[in-house]
Amino acid sequence: MLVQALRLHLAEGLRGGVGWLFALADEQMGAAINSMHDDPAYRWTLQELAERAGVSRSTFALKFKETVGASPMAYLTRWRMLLAGDRLANSSDPVSVIALALGYESESAFSHSLQEGHGLFATAI
């Protein structure tokens, strides 16, 4: 039943839905999202993600925002924060280790991202 529900959900998305699940149904956007999910610590740039999607940077940025509902970098930040929240809650790793594992240069940069509102209370992906 779950598989059927997901199929219906994705079929609706192909007709104009917005969100990461709908974006995964799009080959180009799915390639970029999978890249971010596979290596969240990598210092992704808009250009590199566009190359993964096989489109120009401007086309990628526009299509990603239209499909996902957020810019690529905002999506990546939220993804990292969701992963961080899980690790903070379910591991004994110190914040400094979690920050570095998720692509932040320091614990300070990670804390700054949390304070900027990109944290665990941001809109779910």
Domains of the chain, by residue range, sit at: 2-118
The model's pTM is: 0.74
- Maximum pairwise Cα distance, the chain: 45
Quick one: pLDDT at residue 4?
A: 63
pLDDT in tens, the chain (125 residues): 566 666 665 565 555 555 766 677 788 999 999 999 999 999 999 999 999 999 999 999 999 999 898 999 999 999 998 898 899 899 999 988 888 888 888 788 787 777 775 544 344 44
Quick one: pLDDT at residue 112?
A: 77
Quick one: pLDDT at residue 3?
A: 63
Burial class (CB in 10 A: 0-12, 13-18, 19+), 104: buried
- State the CB neighbour count (10 A cutoff) for residue 98: 20
CB 105 within 8 A of CB 62: no
Burial class (CB in 10 A: 0-12, 13-18, 19+), 94: exposed
2-118 belongs to CATH 2.160.10.10: no
Quick one: pLDDT at residue 121?
A: 39
CB 48 within 8 A of CB 73: no
